[in-house]
Amino acid sequence: MTSPKTVLIVDDSRLSRMIIKALILEMHPNWILLETTNAEQTIALLDSIAQPDLITLDINMPGMNGLSLAAIIRETWDAVPIAVITANVQESIVKKCAELQVGFIEKPIDANSVTKALRFME
Amino acid sequence: MFLLNELQQDSLLEIFNIGVGKAASALSKMTSEEILLSVPTLQFLEWDEAKQHLPGNGKIICGVSQRFDGPFTTEAVLMFPEEKSLEFIRYILRVDSLLEQLTEMEQEALCEIGNIILNACMAPIADIFSAEFHATMPEFRMGTSSHVLNMDVPQPNRVIMLMLVQLQMEKSKIDGYLAFLSVLPDMQRFTANIDRFISELPK
């Protein structure tokens, strides 16, 4: 069994958080999974806890979008791996993710997408 | 009033979000620019009440509409304010025109563009439901948003589901909407499909 990691799941969709959580726990039952639903909650949580091992991030959320949030996270917590998991599959979004050095994974979410996201920790 | 529980509503929004993401990608390829998407809104409304929630404020709208029949039935519409639709189509076709109305050729082109975008949206939704949608031919409509959404004939006591997403082309500042309108009782078939989708999720 791998040593427990902490993954922060940021998505306004309860369904998406539920699927990501279930798939990670299926692979790694002892990992710690945290959830937030918007940018403000995410920043507040990151301010108050040790840096997670991975952040999965949705883009289209109410308030600040995931790409702006990723940029803020990069400024303050620059070493944390981020995997964007989004339905917004435009080339420009893929490019912006590359510029921010965050992984890009297309929704719908399945075991393969979660496996890809976890690889960003390596 | 017909209501979905929180998880059903969340699933529905997420399913449409995936479709809208594909539609934005198709539109982005056609325009070579990024499409900004609003967070989708979902409302269940009485027929008459729904008209007050449509975008456009009574102004003239141009739209391309297609009816999709499959795991549920929906009227899907890509629409722009009249003056923006002129800009939109001429921007995509890379043509200038002094005419103040869409020509027949431009209307046909708008239908084809609408066809590509609406099908790009509905195809992943069909895949999620492991089903198939049959679409009518794209139809150009111009008028108020209730006309474009085929809501002119009153249907008292009918409840509709209205989902709206705003699209904005970042550079050219052209904005429009994707709208999806479904009428009860078809929604009951729809919720059965959503429940099946939820029951098959990893737990």
Which H or E run includes B74? strand B73-81
pLDDT value at residue B3: 74
Tell me the chain B residues in contact with residue A62 when contact means C-beta distances shorter than 8 Å.
39
Residue B98: per-residue pLDDT: 62
pLDDT value for A2: 66
Q: Which residues of chain B have pLDDT under 50?
A: none
Domain coverage including residue A84: 6-119
Spatial distance between the Cα atoms of B20 and B90, rounded to a whole number of angstroms = 23
B37 touches chain A (CB under 8 A): yes
C-alpha–C-alpha distance, residues A26 and B202, integer Å:
9
A1 lies in some domain: no
Which residues in B47-131 belong to E strands, given as ranges? Answer: 61-69, 73-81
Note whether A107 contacts B13, CB cutoff 8 Å: no
Residue A101 placed within a domain:
yes
Whether residue A115 lies within 8 A of chain B, CB to CB, comes out as: no
**Quick check: A92 and B21 CB within 8 A?**
no
Q: Which two tokens stand for residue B133?
A: 């949608």
Q: What ipTM did this prediction achieve? A: 0.70
Residue B185 is predicted with a pLDDT of 63
Taking the C-alpha atoms of residue A13 and residue B54, their distance in angstroms, rounded to an integer, is 24
Mean pLDDT of each 10-residue bin along chain A, 122 residues long: 88 89 94 97 94 95 94 93 93 93 92 95 88
| Rounded Cα–Cα distance for residues B82 and B59 (Å) | 8
Ordered by start, the domain boundaries in chain B are: 6-199
pLDDT of residue A117: 97
Residue A102 confidence (pLDDT): 96
Q: How many domains does chain A have?
A: 1
Contacts of A35 in chain B (CB under 8 A): none
Rounded CA-CA distance B106/B170 in Å is: 23
Specify the pLDDT at position B1: 58
Position B186 scores a pLDDT of 66
Nearest CB to A90: which of B6, B25, B203? B25
What does the angle CA B88 – CA B106 – CA B38 come to, to the nearest 5 degrees?
30
What confidence score (pLDDT) does residue A7 get?
98
Pairing of strands B41-46, B159-169: antiparallel
Instruction: Please say whether the beta carbons of A11 and A85 come within 8 A.
Output: yes
Give the number of C-alpha atoms closer than 13 A to the C-alpha of residue A38, restricted to the C-beta side. Answer: 7
Question: How much is the pLDDT for B35?
Answer: 94
CATH number at residue A19: 3.40.50.2300
Which of these CATH numbers, 3.40.1550.10, 3.20.20.120, 3.30.1050.10, 3.30.420.40, describes B6-199? 3.40.1550.10
Cβ neighbours of residue B94 under 8 Å, at least 6 residues apart? none
pLDDT in the model for residue B82: 85
Tokens 């209307």 locate to: B107
Is B172 an interface residue toward A (CB < 8 Å)?
Answer: no
Distance from CA of B146 to the nearest CA of A (A): 27
The torsion angles phi and psi of B151, rounded to 5 degrees, stand at -110, 20
> For an interface test with B, which of A37, A60, A85 has the most B Cβ atoms less than 10 Å from its Cβ?
A60
Q: Would you give the DSSP letter of residue A50?
A: P
Residue at token pair 């995410």: A42
pTM value is 0.82
Distance from CA of B42 to the nearest CA of A (A): 14
pLDDT, position B139: 93
A24 domain residue, yes or no: yes
